[in-house]
Amino acid sequence: MTDTGRYLMNQTDCNSEKISSRTLGLIFLPLALLLSFIGGLVLPVVGFFFALPLLIISGVFLFAPESKACQLIRGKSA
């Protein structure tokens, strides 16, 4: 395999990493919103206790910065 092939493979891996991170965030977000809505109706304190970590996790996945390795591959300065 040539260096160009490895470079393209790594760039593809970076794209996959970004897409999978965003996908997980988009999966957790509706679950957290649904849980907070149902929890707010049934048991507000307990519902929000379980929904808040899911909201935080979805935000982390949605707005996660690119990894250092992908920044180097794409030529972006840190």
What is the predicted pLDDT for the residue at 8? 56
What is the predicted pLDDT for the residue at 58? 93
Of 57-61, 69-73, 74-78, the range with the highest mean pLDDT is: 57-61
Query: Tokens in use for 74?
Result: 């794409």
What is the predicted pLDDT for the residue at 46? 82
Number of residues that this document lists for the chain? 78
Of the candidates 78, 75, 61, the residue with the CA atom closest to the CA atom of residue 11: 75
How confident is the model over 14-69, as pLDDT tens digits? 888 888 889 999 999 999 999 889 888 888 888 888 889 999 999 999 998 877 77
pLDDT level of residue 6 (50, 70, 90 thresholds)? low
Token look-up 């794209």 returns 15
Is the confidence at residue 3, as pLDDT, over 90? Answer: no
Domain count, the chain: 1
Instruction: Give the domain range for residue 37.
Output: 3-74
Alpha carbon distance, N-terminus to C-terminus of the chain: 29
Of the candidates 29, 35, 65, the residue with the CA atom closest to the CA atom of residue 49: 35
Helix 3-42 vs helix 44-62: crossing angle, to nearest 10? 160
